[in-house]
A and B are shown apart, each in its own frame.
Chain A
Amino acid sequence: MTAPAVETRDLVREFKGGIRAVDGVSLVVESGGIFGFLGPNGAGKSTTVRMLTTLLRPTGGTAMVAGHDVMADPDAVRRRIGVALQDAAIDPYMTGRELLRLQGVLHGLPRAECRARAEDLLARVGLEDAADRRVGTYSGGMRRRLDLALSLVHEPVVLFLDEPTTGLDPTSRVALWEEVRRLNAEHGTTIFLTTQYLEEADQLADRVAIIDGGRIVADGAPAALKADIGEPLLTVTAGDGSTPDDIAGVLARFGPIVPGSVEGGAGVRLPGGSSAMADAVRALDDAGVRFQAIDLAEPSLDDVFLKCTGRHLEGAGEEPPAA
Chain B
Amino acid sequence: MTAAAPAIRQTAALAWRSIITTIRLPQAWFPALFFPLVLMAIFTASFGGAPGVVPGFPPVRGFLDFAVCGAIVQGVLIGGTSAGAAFATDIEGGFFDRLVASPISRVAILTGRLGASMALGLFQAVLFIGIAWIGGARVAGGISGFVIVLVIAVTFAAAVGGLGVFLALRTGSGEAVQGMFPLFFALLFFSSAFFPIETMTGWYAAVARVNPISYLVEAMRLEIIGGATAATTLAGIGIALGLAVITIGASALALRRRLRVAA
Contact = CB atoms under 8 A, between A and B. Distances in A.
Interface of A: 51, 53-58, 70-71, 74-75, 77-79, 81, 83, 85-91, 93-94, 98, 102-103, 105-108, 134, 150
B9 interface: yes
Contacts of B99: 106
A94 B20 contact: yes
Contact of A91 (B6, B21, B103): B21
Contact of A70 (B20, B97, B263): B263
Nearest to B21: A93
Contacts of B260: 57
B261 A57 contact: yes
A108 B13 CA distance: 11
Contacts of A81: 101
A107 B102 contact: yes
A90 B94 CA distance: 8
B20 A93 contact: yes
Contacts, number: 81
Contacts of A134: 24
A77 B100 CA distance: 12
6 contacts: A54-B101, A55-B101, A56-B263, A94-B21, A107-B102, A108-B103
A77 B102 CA distance: 9
Interface residues of B, number: 26
Contacts of A56: 261-263
Contacts of A74: 262-263
B25 A93 contact: yes
A91 B102 CA distance: 16
Contacts of B102: 78, 103, 106-107
Majority secondary structure of chain A interface residues (helix, strand, loop or mixed): loop
A105 B101 contact: no
Nearest to A150: B98
A107 B103 contact: yes
B28 to A, nearest CB: 9
B88 to A, nearest CB: 14
Contact of A85 (B13, B20, B94): B94
B10 interface: yes
B95 A54 contact: no
Nearest to B98: A89
Nearest to A83: B101
B101 A53 contact: yes
A61 B246 CA distance: 38
B93 interface: yes
B262 A57 contact: yes
Nearest to B22: A93
Contacts of B256: none
A75 B10 CA distance: 15
Contact of A55 (B10, B93, B104, B262): B262
A78 B101 contact: yes
Contacts of A83: 97-98, 101
Contacts of B94: 85-89
A93 B6 CA distance: 25
Contacts of A103: 102
A61 to B, nearest CB: 13
A71 B93 contact: no
Contacts of A106: 10, 13-14, 99, 102, 104
B97 A89 contact: yes
B24 A105 contact: no
A86 B92 CA distance: 12
Contacts of A70: 263
A108 B6 contact: yes
A98 B18 CA distance: 12
Contacts of A58: 263
B96 to A, nearest CB: 8
Interface in B2-40: 6, 9-10, 13-14, 16-17, 20-21, 24-25
Interface string B231-263: 000000000000000000000000000001111
